[in-house]
Amino acid sequence: MSREALSDFLRAVERHGPLRREAAACNSDRQLMDLARSLGFSITEHDLAQDHQDSTIHYWFSKSRIRRSFHSPSS
């Protein structure tokens, strides 16, 4: 549920200018989590770490030359 809360919070930040400025002013993950919680979004450090890992993996695959499936073609 908290990963969904992180997604909802990020969507709110994208769409609301004053909130975007508040989030940009955060100097740490803790401040960002406190901001989210003050607005009713329940996010954890694990959510932030997992989001970073997911983004890193997605970026790598988008730039990778590996584009084919790992399955060999049928004979």
Q: Give dist(CA 33, CA 30) in Å, integer.
A: 5
Query: For residue 19, is pLDDT > 70?
Result: yes
Out of 22-26, 38-42, 70-74, least confident range = 70-74
Q: Where are the domains of the chain?
A: 2-47
Q: Which is more confident, 33 or 75?
A: 33
* Range 9-36 average pLDDT: 93
Query: For residue 74, is pLDDT > 90?
Result: no
pLDDT, residue 34, reads: 94
Q: Whose CA is closest to 54, among 7, 18, 13, 21?
A: 7
The residue whose two tokens read 């803790």 is 30
